[in-house]
Structure 1
Amino acid sequence: MTSTAPDSELARFHRFLCGFHRRQAGRAVDFPGGFAALDDTYTHSRGNNHLLVDGPADPETLAARADELLGHLPYRLVYVIPDAVAAACRGPLERSGYAYSTRYVMRHTGPAPAHGGAREVDLDALRGPAGAAWRRFVPGVSDEEVHHLVERRAARLRGAEDVRFLASYSEDGEVASWADLYLDPKAGIAQIEDLVTAEDHLGKGHAGRVLDTALHMAAEAGCGLRHLTANASNWPHRWYERKGFAIVDSVHVFERA
């Protein structure tokens, strides 16, 4: 899609995104036009092992580059930020067996809401509910895969200057919904990610409480640019629109199992 945000705003988001992926990586390997973010501790996590293209790259050699840098893994994942580069890469990557999708970049518009009542928690509080959620989302997932997908939150603590895990609790004390909040007060930007609700607590308003809390905290930290990303093919982006978010850009995703 064509971006609807000012170039200066998009540049801030792109810097934040690239910085986040570099900081949380166990190691980063640069190549012309981008870098590989790698973490041997969480090899089952695509979010921790992928290529990110943020500049001019050779479309005809990108698949080979992914094989070179991700060859120890059973999957390939390439994020491409510039629209023109993604358009040029799509044909060669699809011919190499990659599937294409997009993630919307959504900015919160209007004033920040009042505090939603969610709490800041640590990783220990999220291990059980996050593990159960992954088993619901990915039937047949192995114990080792779940362990990597849950424990990778430890690496995310490196992703931004201020990282917070937020959770809304049910009346009986269970974690009902949770999300990550990444704050960069110096740059005035915040990102909300991985908003999930436990199956037993769906439809009870817990996700809204977590989201409102995250937006409120971001505003309190001086982050006027508040955003998240959402899969273009799934329904949540419609819910985010009702919560005051607008689609301003896309990140292009190429994946091969």
Structure 2
Amino acid sequence: MKLVSWNVNGLRACIRKGFLDYFNNIEADIFAVQEIKLQEGQIDLDLEGYEQYWNYAEKKGYAGTAVFTKQQPLNVTYGMDEEASHPEGRIITLEFEDYYFVTVYTPNAQRTLARLPLRLEWEDQFYHYIQKLDEQKPVILCGDMNVAHKPIDLKNDKSNKGNSGFTIEEREKMTRLLNHGFIDTLRYFYPDRDDLFTWWSYMKTVRERNIGWRIDYFIVSERMQDQLNDAQIHSDVMGSDHCPIYLDIDL
């Protein structure tokens, strides 16, 4: 199966920049998007053959996620706890017969790290949520996780040490997840590649020179390792400050 995840940084804007060309060409079985930045009724997306699931943020023009899938799931949930309020629309979980598919848009700690305490609290809640799912059946997790895990995952690691997205605290949360039953699929296939990035700032020529960060991931339960075929970053696809990521897996 072909799976795609993409932080589109505003879905309506991304559509004007060629989103549907990529969507139609890749023919993914499941296609997840983050940071859709829209509310219900603001878009009418005709995706023939796909079920559509949306989690809108309450705040206009902010956050939000969506999943488009060819196979109808057994169940769909929004957020981590149906009893709790999740006003930013950051998580969608699709339950299939043999696995869970989760897309996430992890909160940013902000440039001043003002939101770091909230981010770390959120990480703990999310970690326990994913572990709870994994106890029931394998999990495929994808999305913008807003952290470059290792120095190899960003171009200028020394000058960014301690900055939002590359703090020790944020990186340790990713390490914990990967040390407790999960695989970073891109690093499974390409452990030493130091030019694989998924996000670039809009500063002039930064993307052309590939001065980027890898903050978008496909992460799967360890027991799915033998089902993995390939993981890719489609850095040539424009339309957002992020690029799509791709996973080929036998399901």
Same fold flag (TM > 0.5): no
Q: Which has the larger radius of gyration?
A: 1
Q: Which has the higher relative contact order, 1 or 2, with Cα contacts under 8 A spaced 6 or more apart?
A: 1
* TM-score, normalization by structure 1: 0.36
* TM-score, normalization by structure 2: 0.36
Normalized per residue, which structure has more helix?
A: 1
